[in-house]
Structure 1
């Protein structure tokens, strides 16, 4: 493992004479805007998906690529992005990530067809994978005093938790009163202005030592995940037993096994296997992967239920999701208070149980059911449950980790959630499409039957989403052994999709 030493270049955390530069809080504001843009992008695009699908004539099987192209690139490249930021300079990576994100957003906003949109979303994810770890590292090196660093990460966490709610409303407003395209184009001025503000204010720092990047590991894991998602997509079109579907799934398995072999033999692995073998940390990463699958899919299918089945406007859809964001923020605060008393396992078990109950509650929706009686209870149960999970999950990832592995371990929580979201969305979209097809075959293709088939697809997907969360619950119950005295003092930022 390469030993790295921090070398600041004009760092604004402290001046040469020993005084503290007040611009560090302005730098935090700039970094927070970039983080807000990344968080906003996910929720804004979710609200815009039905309009984008209709406008670009995207099939039901392929619509999940609007989500998975981004999350696959983001999650698959996040660890590499962190290493790039460390070695080329965090400020340079931060500014470059912003400019790249702006370019990708412009391509997506102007996309003439589905392929351009999918490519733009993947490019957004790739630049976000550089931008996000650069932002976190800049906070760490800018705020060197413990209490100030805690306050800075508190601001960062609040942006991560509350930004999604703002994105829901902004996405609704832009889609309703302008076009779904502005849900992507809005990133362009934000990113460019933030990059311009960062140049004179944010200080530079990087890690010394030879820059070594695990390109073989990056290629094998990315190709394996893309092949897996594509296999799920082909299953929706051709069936699970088709040669094409089985071919992609077999290729995915071979590539992912190859990734493990590459990491075991690499001198500078993208993912040091020692980080995931410890049972508590392994439980954190595996449960994050499974919960990400259920969470991202829930957003996808509820969005289409609101707008397609119930006829909600995009703006009304945004407001319909607000209780979900509020519940996560409140319960995450509760989890932070509980952990020192109970350890991580108790809130995580309680949270997964509430999330499963919430998903099963959503299986009762119909064409004539009320939002207040059938959707809101499920949303609140899920949001409270997820808030109880996310905080201890982030802490669990850092239990017993060596200092030089702490960055990888922390980033893995976000990376696994993004990858899990990719795989879960693709898999459950196939489950949805299969359920819809089977319902129409059994009941005919009348308008009423077709509408009811959509409901059958949603509820079937929610059941399988609950199965993913149940697997996460089993993982936590069996593997988590950490007590309250083993939990690190500072948890990572809360991620809500």
Structure 2
């Protein structure tokens, strides 16, 4: 599984920068490029949502072997998937086509109706794909809300930092890709360090620190100038951002499944990942609106910087929203880990040994007393038999 996950990350590392480079070199800076990148982000989000849902379905049905009388929530799956996809389409396409145009409003209305239908279905049937009881966990609800805020801020960050590298600082596609290497390498190191700290620090503290760093990263990027060097603004901003990302991501992932029963682990993981994917187009859409409002339609090159600065501030605000969500929704206490089977066995063995020790002295005395009685009985029997034999001889 770890190797597969590593290969998946390598594949994304190869394809995403290359695809982004093709788009940015094919479409000049301005409305056409913005539209192309918006479609690129939207289709990626749609694919991620569909993939996560299908993975959760397969993991909870086919992967577990033959299950008697296992019914699938076909209508629930269809209504939720299509509803989410159409809403993501609206968020992705509206900056280019207009937020009130028929081409975007129609999918939005369809998506809302389908999601309402999905909720009704899940409340009525006996075999829901998303059992309503999973939302009773405050920790799970908070993790999903926090994950959505995280991906909204992160995608706004990566989207506009990539554009700033190329449009404002004049980096080539290759140089832009290399500029993010520090972020990737630093994230690997940060994951190792923070993984060791997580058992010793409360989850809520990790999240608060992460959101503070996220806000700081956005504010730092907003100080970018057309003549800024890589080491003055982008590099420290990327380092601060990766610390933020790892703090929030690791903590949310651990807490999202902490309260779930074994039979709900698959669906809880799928819903949590859907929250991540939904946040991506929301963040890009919001920051795009803000940037385009400042830059207008025909700005190019360094003229785009004012709008990009506003976009960087917008993702700092998204970090602030995530901080508020964390403070309000997240429980102060960490989840209590249930004992493993091995630990339960140790407890049972220890209890039995203690009970044996308590009655050990009494058992020993009873055994000795019984032995004495038995020996006495044997001696008495032998004595009686010997006496009888002697009387016969006399």
TM bucket normalised to smaller = 0.7 to 0.9
Counterpart position of 2:131 = 272
Q: CA deviation at 1:482?
A: 4.7
SS of structure 2 residue aligned to 1:78: helix
Say if 2:22 is the partner of 1:51. yes
Counterpart position of 1:82 = 56
Q: Is 2:42–2:92's contact at 8 Å kept on the other side of the alignment?
A: no
Query: Residues 25-67 of structure 1, C-alpha deviation per residue, up to 9 Å, x if partnerless?
Result: xxxxxx4454234323434344221423543786422422223
Q: Is 1:80–1:218's contact at 8 Å kept on the other side of the alignment?
A: no
Counterpart position of 1:21 = none
Counterpart position of 1:70 = 44
Output the CA distance in 2 between the equivalents of 1:454 and 1:488: 54
Q: 2:166 aligns with which of 283, 307, 310?
A: 307
The 5 Å alignment of 1:236-251 reads 236-242=95-101, 244-251=103-110
SS of structure 1 residue aligned to 2:65: strand
Q: CA deviation at 1:383?
A: 0.5
Q: CA deviation at 1:363?
A: 1.2
The 5 Å alignment of 1:85-484 reads 85-89=59-63, 206=65, 208-242=67-101, 244-437=103-296, 450-484=300-334
SS of structure 2 residue aligned to 1:417: helix
Q: Give the greater-gyration-radius structure (CA).
A: 2
Q: CA deviation at 1:243?
A: 5.0
Q: Using a 3 Å threshold, how does the CA distance of structure 1 residues 52 and 242 change in structure 2: closer, same or farther?
A: closer
Counterpart position of 2:344 = none
Counterpart position of 2:365 = none
Output the CA distance in 2 between the equivalents of 1:485 and 1:78: 25
Q: Is 2:23–2:33's contact at 8 Å kept on the other side of the alignment?
A: no
Q: What residue ranges of structure 1 are gaps of 5+ in the alignment?
A: 1-30, 90-204, 491-497
Root mean square deviation of aligned Cα: 2.8
Output the CA distance in 2 between the equivalents of 1:209 and 1:264: 23
Q: Using a 3 Å threshold, how does the CA distance of structure 1 residues 78 and 250 change in structure 2: closer, same or farther?
A: same
Q: Is 1:276–1:285's contact at 8 Å kept on the other side of the alignment?
A: no
Name whichever structure is richer in helix by fraction: 2
Q: Is 2:259–2:335's contact at 8 Å kept on the other side of the alignment?
A: no
Q: CA deviation at 1:287?
A: 0.6
Q: CA deviation at 1:391?
A: 1.6
Q: CA deviation at 1:385?
A: 1.2
Q: Is 2:167–2:301's contact at 8 Å kept on the other side of the alignment?
A: no
Counterpart position of 1:36 = 6
Count of matched residue pairs: 336
Q: What residue ranges of structure 2 are gaps of 5+ in the alignment?
A: 341-394
Q: Using a 3 Å threshold, how does the CA distance of structure 1 residues 221 and 322 change in structure 2: closer, same or farther?
A: same
Output the CA distance in 2 between the equivalents of 1:257 and 1:340: 40
- Normalising by structure 2, report the TM-score: 0.76
Output the CA distance in 2 between the equivalents of 1:272 and 1:419: 20
Q: After alignment, is 381-390 or 393-402 more displaced?
A: 393-402
Q: Using a 3 Å threshold, how does the CA distance of structure 1 residues 86 and 237 change in structure 2: closer, same or farther?
A: closer
- Normalising by structure 1, report the TM-score: 0.61
Query: Residues 130-184 of structure 1, C-alpha deviation per residue, up to 9 Å, x if partnerless?
Result: xxxxxxxxxxxxxxxxxxxxxxxxxxxxxxxxxxxxxxxxxxxxxxxxxxxxxxx
Q: Is 1:340–1:485's contact at 8 Å kept on the other side of the alignment?
A: no
Q: CA deviation at 1:244?
A: 4.6
Q: Is 1:354–1:385's contact at 8 Å kept on the other side of the alignment?
A: yes
Q: Is 1:80–1:214's contact at 8 Å kept on the other side of the alignment?
A: no
Q: CA deviation at 1:489?
A: 9.5
Output the CA distance in 1 between the equivalents of 2:337 and 2:38: 37
Q: CA deviation at 1:474?
A: 1.1
Output the CA distance in 2 between the equivalents of 1:237 and 1:318: 26
